[in-house]
Amino acid sequence: MYIVRQATKYMAIGISLILVLTLSVPLYAQAEITLWSCETTDANRSGFDTLLEKFYEENPNVKVEVTPIMWPDVMLKGLVAFSTGAEPDMMIPAVAAITDFWKLGAIQPVDEIMEQIGEEDFFKSALEQVRYEGHYLAVPFWNEPGGIFYKKTYFEEKGLKIPETWDEWVSVNEALTEDLDGDGTIDRYGLLLPGAREHYPGNVLNEMLWKNGSSVWTKEGDLNFDRSTVEALDFYVNLMTEYSSPGSIGYGFAELYEMLGRDEVASEVTMGHAMKRVIEEYPELQDKIGVFPMPTNEGFTDRLWVGNAPTTVFMIFRSARHKEEIAELILFLMRPENIAYWCNRRPIGQIPVTKSALNHPTFWENPKVGRHRDMVQTLAKIVEYGHSGYMYYGPHPLAGRVYGALVLTDMIQKVIVDGWSSKQAVEWGAQEILRIAGGTVEWVGRDYFE
């Protein structure tokens, strides 16, 4: 009897322990989502953390692990990770890279998510950047438009109007480039153009191709370098050598942001993010700066508002676990108030890609956005009609690799630094792109170079 009583006692203890352990563990398994993001600024990282905390309140069974990846590295690291089976569940890449991942079979379409959000709510330009081979390859989240940011007071003093054509733009820059104290040295330059060996100068040249009736690719996807490409490069070089600071061949994003607030610059080609630096470091100038779209060459004024407006996107890998939870996360982030909150982490520099977010009170209640309403509305119009560099006719399977190889930036450097003619530099660029393409595209316009 003693043995039976002892066995019964220990059995009761065991059952009690099992019950305690069972009750102490959640009845659901936590879904862990891995996300690589190239949004590495403190403002955006903390903003994303805030949105995730709100998401967790509604979805306590989900955890998102965010790994920041620098913009220049995100495509290469993503491709290497996929090739080794170490890819994350989701990624926020440069939109030009999505076709590279699609062609490798690395990512899944997001058609159902886009349908749930409502395709009609997106600006057409955002949809065109992610639709390829009958599918949406990624979900647009926000946009980072660029334009010509200018000092209003300088324009007013000279009685200058906003230019819409290349000839008008040259006249404006000529009027604003001056030796103000008569010592034989230029004190103020009409325009600051980037020239450093990084992505942005190539993006600006790419926009000039479009404003001259050209593009890197034809609608059919072939290489489209011809006489108009040479004309666009000539125009870029002329603006840089005649009206831009001599040091601008070495200027990239960082220098552009710094220079906009200085007296020696009347205008510059840059992104909306530059205004953040002005607001923080040159607050007395913030109401004296405006923005207009890059002018076009004669005959292409219908492309005036088709500016550089790359969309930042969510991409989902096919191997991702917890796809339902990932869809819930994206749908949460795409709520109008959440897009508006996110864009206002860098006011003016980030513009919503959906109409509902652009019109949401949360967006316009931000004091910086409200104060610069005219500027934001101009940038929003560029977003509505804009494009992403290297993708004027939508995603292209080589866009990411050409973008990453800095081909167009190198064309600028070969003319200004190495002394090549624009025709030589464009022919070299065409050969580089053909090499990257490996025989998958034809070169339209080759006859001009023979």
pLDDT in tens, 36-79: 988 777 777 888 999 999 999 999 999 999 998 887 777 888 88
Asked which of 20-24, 329-333, 349-353, 401-405 is least confident by mean pLDDT, the reply is: 20-24
Q: What is the pLDDT of residue 244?
A: 96
Cα dist. 79→41, 397, 401, 404 in Å? Answer: 23, 14, 11, 13
Residue 5 has pLDDT above 70, yes or no: no
Of the CA atoms within 13 Å of residue 280, those in its CB half-sphere come to 10
Q: Which of 275, 280, 292, 190 is nearest to 238 (CA)?
A: 190
**Is 49 within 8 Å of 378 (Cβ atoms)?**
no
Q: What is the pLDDT of residue 408?
A: 97
Alpha-carbon distance 340 to 141, whole Å?
A: 10
CATH 3.40.50.300 fits 31-144+308-385, yes or no: no
Q: What is the pLDDT of residue 16?
A: 45
Provide the pLDDT confidence category of residue 29 given band limits of 50, 70 and 90: low
The mean per-residue pLDDT over the stretch 124-149 comes to 95
Residue 147 has pLDDT above 80, yes or no: yes
* Tokens coding 290: 């405006």
Q: What is the pLDDT of residue 1?
A: 47
Of the CA atoms within 13 Å of residue 142, those in its CB half-sphere come to 28
**Is 102 within 8 Å of 313 (Cβ atoms)?**
no
Hey, where are the domains in the chain?
A: 31-144+308-385, 146-306+396-449
Provide the pLDDT confidence category of residue 434 given band limits of 50, 70 and 90: very high
Residue 303 has pLDDT above 90, yes or no: yes
Q: What is the pLDDT of residue 217?
A: 95
Q: What is the pLDDT of residue 55?
A: 97
Superfamily (CATH) of domain 146-306+396-449 = Periplasmic binding protein-like II (3.40.190.10)
Q: What is the mean pLDDT of the chain?
A: 90
Residue 290, beta-bridge partner list: 150
The mean per-residue pLDDT over the stretch 224-249 comes to 96
Same fold, 31-144+308-385 and 146-306+396-449: yes
The mean per-residue pLDDT over the stretch 216-234 comes to 96
pLDDT in tens, 350-359: 999 999 999 9
Provide the pLDDT confidence category of residue 116 given band limits of 50, 70 and 90: very high
Cβ–Cβ contacts within 10 Å for residue 439, how many? 7
- 236-240, 390-394, 400-404, range with greatest mean pLDDT: 236-240
Provide the pLDDT confidence category of residue 279 given band limits of 50, 70 and 90: confident
Alpha-carbon distance 351 to 165, whole Å?
A: 26
Q: What is the pLDDT of residue 2?
A: 42
Q: What is the pLDDT of residue 99?
A: 92
